[in-house]
Amino acid sequence: MQVPTLPTPDADWLAALDRDALHAAAHERAAEAWRLACEVHPRLPRPAVWLDLRGRGAGQAHFGRGGLRFNPQLLAENRLAFFTDVIPHEMAHWLVHHLDEGPRVRPHGREWKHVMRALYGLEPRATHVFDTRTASPAPYRYRCACRDHFFSRRRHANARAGRDYFCRKCRGELIYKDYAAT
């Protein structure tokens, strides 16, 4: 028995897409992954798809909002990996969540792994290995007794609002030094 899979998109075609065409193609790829999932779960609701995720995460199945979120910066930088791995990864979460026991299973547990292998023909990996420096810049330098730490805008705002942060290595308090944008 052959494992049903999504066709691998042409890397040259993906590389040639402008921003809007890439986003439209990502929406279509999510629809293809959903249609494949419907072969095993015909009543699976179709998720909305947003390209609004920021930071280090490539994708997120957001059950509260009723859809899938993807990081447009990481999509632009890792096009083929997004289409072959990230979009099916998040659709597998969507499918597992909508099974009878779905809300109670571990996010990357055996059910999710089974969907990744049996439905999408992929080796299940819980995390990506993308370079996230451009997607999650951390230009605010903080210092402890042993080294420099770099904070994102959100973490810096929390620190400025009174939240204390400590180094995990030396346990020293992290003190703001300067804006160190590259």
Alpha-carbon Rg for the chain in angstroms: 19
* CA 85-108-130 angle, 5° bins: 40
Show Cβ contacts of residue 47 under 8 Å, excluding neighbours closer than 6 positions: 30, 34, 61, 66, 67, 68, 91, 94
Tokens of 139: 């230009």
CA separation (Å) from 73 to 14, 55, 132? Answer: 15, 9, 9
Among the listed residues 77, 90, 101, 173, the single catalytic one is 90
Tokens of 152: 């994102």
Report whether 46 contacts 58 (CB < 8 A).
Answer: no
- Is 90 marked active-site? yes
Strands (E), 6-106: 48-50, 59-62, 67-70
Tell me how crowded residue 41 is: count the other CB atoms within 10 A of its CB: 16
Catalytic site residues? 90
